[in-house]
Amino acid sequence: MSAPTKKQLASRHMRRLRTMREQVLDMARQWEDLDQYAVNVLEDLAEAMESTASNLLDEDAVEGAMP
């Protein structure tokens, strides 16, 4: 079996990060009435996950456009 291309790996990791982001946001909702600090930390983590997922795709798109 051959190794995945950079584009395939970026797509796979983007999907996994977005799935994990949804799980982290669900955790934040569970803390909503108990601990605002936990909510904030979890929301920050979810935002970082989305940013990372977007950056993986953006980097791959930029490299794919270069001759």
Q: Which amino acid is at 26?
A: D
User: What phi and psi, each to the nearest 5 degrees, are found at residue 29?
Assistant: -60, -35
Q: How do residues 23-51 score in pLDDT, each as one tens digit?
A: 999 999 999 999 999 999 999 999 999 99
Q: Domain spans of the chain?
A: 6-61
Q: Mention every residue, 6+ apart, whose C-beta is less than 8 A from residue 52.
A: 17
Where residue 19 falls among pLDDT bands split at 50, 70, 90? very high
pLDDT for res 58: 82
Amino acid found at 59 = E
**DSSP state, residue 33:** T
Q: How far is the CA of 11 from the CAs of 23, 33, 62, 67, in angstroms?
A: 19, 35, 14, 21
Q: pLDDT value at position 57?
A: 81
